Structure 1
């Protein structure tokens, strides 16, 4: 068979022929975990590796094992861990081998990038650590801000503390970038002005314009007040008990009978039937007196000068009037209003009014606080005193009396009516106190009732004609009904009727028809005695006239741009010409000849204007006279925005919302220009909020129409009469209204 190749035979003395393994081109078996690499045929023959080798048998290489034998048959993998002699490498050899590997890595592009990045991070960390204060104040280019942010995130993975510093640097740069528009979160955070407990909003210059915040907050509070009002008698009784910790007075059910609804309030559609906290405040110290003591004081007051007394009898359609001033028109007007409920009274009642515009009763702080405490506990003091001298009035024996002398005669009577550590007392003692006047702290009114508290605002005491005096003498608690009082007086606040009209005859244009975009005020020289012995230039009306006629100097004006607060230094003459039309008018009053002549020559007295002309102004300011202001209701009925500055809380104080129905103004007028700049705009016409002003003007007009009616004033006096009648007779029993439980299933 010629086609069969014969195998060559080995001959002695000749080198063996090299035989190529037959399996070199065969792919490795899938059942073998690792195919060994055969470097030479000799190695293959000596190792016994062949096609017929069995797993685990001679010539099989198991890579999962770690052979420990030494010598030429040792695995190549093990040779990497030892040196040329077969021993473990020394420390020097290991370090040399490690550095060799590092150098090999650095020669590659990836290695160079990693090394450069590491060096840059180390250098940056060291630089930021040593120059952190300098970097925090340094302004960088806006394009670098994202790089700083990403660097902070990367460094935070290595060093959280250093990463936080870089992130803080980024936040600082972002917040101080003048070209960056603020985010919504930043606006909300930065617009948090300080609402101080004394009733002032302390302005944060980095926040939103505070008037935006005040209006939004006031609208929410007014809405909540309307929603929580009682709708039935049961709800009203429950609310009364929660607020005042006692039952309502007898006759409270005449605001209802059986139907579960108040009769008087339902007949007259009286709103806000729970908001009578002023009555509780005025009558709180009277609860400390025995019933017979209260009745005795009530009888003595009917003989006091400068008073008139209105007597109400159950079932009688109209009250009667007696007393020294029973003939005046004010007395008959009050009697006509009380006639709306006189016949509904459960007991006879006499109430005595003082005819003056100012209050007449003031107690030392310790005495009032002690009486309020005893009244809440249901206890009555009985300290005996001799006859008391009541100024120019007859001496009267008041019987049991709780009167205590003032603590410090060197202080004003106003200060003695305040707490010992109050700001007013500290200021008069020459001690340190925080001054919140306009020259020191920029602020706006957020709670008008608290701002009227002289104990917390000593800066306002010398800026009002009534409070700049020593104050009425401290005396015993007597039941006098007054038309005006501060929070420090102990008179019982009543409803005045002067200058009130249900409808004011005259031209009443719409908001768009009001052509004068200024602040209007015309008034007489009242509010203080204009003589050389009185600092009348600091009184409320005189300061308003003087400040609006200044022409020299500049003022820092605050206005709003896109909701944010902006400030600019402007000329006083320019803003007075732009915003103000306020001046004394009419005949001079309450001035001695010397001061009257000075007012005629030095003051720009303007003629009075009628209602038709005044209604063309979009803004009007209401300030006090000798007492409360009687024109507030008329101003609120004009659709104009009413700015009000007063020291006298009035009967409707719990039933109106500042910044919704009117704009409150500080006694020192430091906020007037900023308020006008917000609504009208700055001197360049920028930042006006005419629509918000229109909204407040219309809300005030609607409030005067729905919440300050003749029947609303009668409802206040009706409830006050019920409360005072109970105090006079609380020792006789049957003075409370007790709601009977309902068994209607």
Structure 2
């Protein structure tokens, strides 16, 4: 296992070192130097830095060499130039390498690095000298029976410690252990000595070649007068330089002259037996030394006495401490533990309670139980301190994470339920880790509780991590997109901050559309733009209008066939009027239609992405290659090669076999809405939507076209459309005053070609309006036993589908059928549905729930719905400009294209057919959060900030020269 890694699990290893000190992180991020660098700098390893050159010596990429492009000190990984992997969709991603798997072959030397190497080299040299010194010490230990006599003229400290018997001529005269040096101390230094104790010199000034006299015995008269019996042992502490001047200088053959060295010497035995004649000395342990002084046959009995004394001593000391703590705890409990009682009252305020029969516990008032004071986390102060109390069991149940130990299956943006027991439950901070039992799985809460909780946490974290300064914004841009921001980014940041734009960093969806264009030569893009703007024979030219910016926005003009067709050209002129002064001269071509146009094959898109991420452009023959393959449908060819859409049967075969729709085997909700919209990974939705229910367009090449609607399959650049943005609801009752506890929809028959029989039956809006006519019965999950703070177990109920649908749904078409061909076909279509002449927005506001369903393209009504006091449900395959700046299950509720989760969603929020198990409060919370989001994140200036950022990226791609691709970088 690599150095510094505590587990083969990257999650566990990252967690183990998440709060590690810098010293540990430096070790983990260190790598050995090559032989040449080791010889040159005198050090073995050093922390890796960016731009070092390394060679991978073990692992999958063994033998690769390259420059270090990134050092991730949070994940303890480095990224080496050229070490990458191709994903199935053609994208190339860098692969992290553990620092212990590489050898540094070339260092990036700067002033700081040189200082580090200098310090490490000096330390290494000193370490080598220490090794040499230890070798010499071992040589000295081999001469342990030789005793060195020293006359100490200068000394630091003397410590008295019982040692081995050293009495002169005694029967137990001992030789010091082989790892100690025995020296004789002058009489004036012997503070206390006897045949049963010895002095340890705590710190000696030990010169390498000074005062080392011939071997001799002790001279202290207090040692009992025995010749050679008064020896003392050197202390195990470190020796320091000492003799500034000495009367006698003698060389030692074991230590070179005039060197001062710190030497450690191990401690010998502490207790010893008595010896020969003379007065018995007093050990420095005081009364303990007197008590434990051992000798002859009394040794075992003395040890027993000593042990008993120690036990009694600690018993009395510990008992006194427990008594004091118990007294303090009783006082602490009476006071609630925080200077107040557990009702939050002062001592004066509780006098009546304590004298009213509350007693010492002070927990009742006239027999009535006082409720606990809640603290953070939902526990009372008392239960937070003493969770084992019987009356705290209910509070602990309320604060325990009901999803702990459970795991949901997630796939392509969907969360499938019910959950199963997690094989290795992750730790829950503040609570002990526990595995889910069979009862936990059987009685698990409703998954919408989980989706709402996770959505709130994700939104809070996203808002908190937004860049606060230009430096942070630039660093985040580089981290996400591997390139410098475009020129003018600093002015954009200033404009955004001045206008209190919140989501400074959330433009990933925009960059997904922009990135492929950076792989096309700027001159080639200019030629293609001229075609869509001026070539009347070009297939899309008649569907466009062009906005011309000149003189830094001083002059703006509209051109093109659709400049007067609808109000969208003027809307774009108004939207760019304020930001035009910050932009260079450019022509911007939009389509006036609702739909996107630009597509390219999955293989071609992958090539564009690889080149763009490497900062290169493709040759014209590659970027202009359609790379079409007619064995695939158009939609399938546009999708990535490894996507599920490539693997399903063709559109014609599925239509011929009547394989239109198969209900899902397991119920699910949408968790990641943009992922769930991707038809490449959800081919089951292709035949259920009017936009995609055909074989699909053939792949083409990139054209710089701006559109109001896009999908995951298209490559146009998405703008922020303005249609219906200013529509408001004049009268909107408060949530509690709304009359209808239903979900409402009113709309026209747009969104499908109703001349086709399949579209009349299976496209999104006709399917929605047929829900009130559903036959049979349905069994739906709901949560009737939820408590205000504790989700209860999920249960099911059965009801007649038609009765339940009419209880929940109010779906009708408006006016008359459109896009259905001849009048006879329109009349036939109208007979199958409920119709309404018109519903005033004020009347629509009487409903607590509203649903937004796709028409021909993007939704113009969504802004108006979000600004209302109703909870919004949304079903769509069209991601919009704000998709990175909104949070499902916090601001709105996402609904699947097949509407299979619409039933279960309404069962949770509205309850069963009797209203039991409703979660009206949560629905209101989402409605209010959505309204607040629309007021703070979908202002006119927010759309200006978005367009400003998009046009900066567009200016970079068209204004940089072919031979200077970084010329328009910041």
- TM-score normalised per structure 1: 0.68
| 1:287 and 2:508 are equivalent in the alignment | no
1:336 counterpart (574, 579, 585): 574
Q: How does 1:501-540 map to 2 (within 5 A)?
A: 501=726, 504-532=728-756, 534-540=758-764
Counterpart residue number, 1:208 = 445
Partner of 2:808: 579
Q: Deviations over 1:98-141 (max 9, x none)?
A: xxxxxxxxxxxxxxxxxxxxxxxxxxxxxxxxxxxxxxxxxxxx
- Separation of aligned partners in 2, 1:494 and 1:186: 42
Cross-structure match for 1:22: none
**Superposition pairs of residues 521-670 of structure 1, within 5 angstroms:** 521-532=745-756, 534-550=758-774, 552-561=775-784, 562=786, 563=791, 564-592=793-821, 593-670=823-900
Residue 190 (structure 1) shift: 6.0
CA positional deviation for 1:297: 1.3
Aligned to 2:914: 684
Measured at CA, do residues 692 and 437 of structure 1 come closer, stay the same or move farther in structure 2, by a change above 3 Å? farther
Cα separation, 1, equivalents of 2:884 and 2:770: 33
Aligned to 1:109: none
Q: Give how far 1:401 is off.
A: 4.4
In the superposition, relative to structure 1, how do residues 186 and 326 fare at CA in structure 2: closer, same or farther (>3 Å)?
A: closer
User: 1:110-149 residue pairs with structure 2 within 5 A?
Assistant: none
Deviations 1:395-421 (Å, cap 9, x if unpaired)?
A: xxxxx84323323x2332111112233
Kindly indicate whether the alpha-carbon contact (under 8 Å) linking 2:769 and 2:813 is maintained by their aligned counterparts in 1: yes
* CA shift digits 1:9-28 (9 cap, x unpaired): xxxxxxxxxxxxxxxxxxxx
The CA deviation string for residues 271-319 of structure 1, in whole angstroms up to 9 with x for no partner, is 1111111221001111111111111112222121210011112433452
Q: Which structure has the bigger radius of gyration?
A: 1
Distance change (3 Å), C-alpha of 1:647 and 1:511: same
* Distance apart, 1:534 and its partner CA: 4.5
Aligned residue in 2 for 1:219: 456
| Of 361, 366, 386, the match for 2:598 | 361
Q: 1:698 to 1:540 in 2, by over 3 A?
A: same
How far off is 1:370 after superposition? Answer: 0.8
Distance in 2 (CA, whole Å) between partners of 1:353 and 1:186 is 51
Deviation at 1:189, TM superposition (A): 4.3
Any conservation in 2 of the 1:313–1:319 contact (CA below 8 Å)?
A: yes
* Structure-2 separation of matches of 1:272 and 1:420: 33
Deviation at 1:198, TM superposition (A): 3.8
Tell me the SS of whatever aligns to 2:743.
strand
Asked if the contact 1:198–1:451 (Cα under 8 Å) also holds between the matched residues in 2, the reply is yes
| Residues paired across the two proteins, number | 531
- CA displacement, residues 471-504 of structure 1 (integer Å, 9 cap, x when unaligned): 2331111111111111111111111111111x61
Alignment pair present for 1:440 and 2:655: no
Please list every run of 5 or more consecutive structure 1 residues that lacks an aligned counterpart in the other structure.
1-180, 256-261, 385-399, 739-745
Query: Which residue in the other structure is 1:417 paired with?
Result: 638
C-alpha distance in 2, partners of 1:676/1:208?
Answer: 16
Deviation per CA, 1:195-220, whole angstroms, max 9, x where unpaired? 22444444338432010000000000
Conservation of the 8 A alpha-carbon contact between 2:747 and 2:812: yes
1:367–1:403 Cα contact (<8 Å) kept: yes
TM-superposed deviation, 1:183: 9.8
**Aligned partners of 1:362 and 1:488 also within 8 Å:** yes
SS in structure 2 of the partner of residue 517 of structure 1: strand
Q: Say yes or no: does 1:403 pair with 2:625.
A: yes
Tell me how far 1:676 sits from its aligned partner: 0.6
The structure with the greater share of residues assigned to strand is 2
Which residue matches 2:701?
A: 476
Q: Is the 8 A contact 1:436 1:457 kept in 2?
A: no
User: Equivalent residue for 2:410?
Assistant: 195
CA RMSD of aligned residues (A): 2.3
The answer to whether the 8 Å contact 1:499/1:631 transfers is yes
* Partner residue of 2:714 out of 477, 485, 489: 489
Other-structure match for 1:34: none
Alpha-carbon separation, structure 2, partners of 1:583 and 1:436:
23
Query: What per-residue deviation string (whole Å, max 9, x for no partner) do you get for residues 648-667 of structure 1?
Result: 00000000000000000000
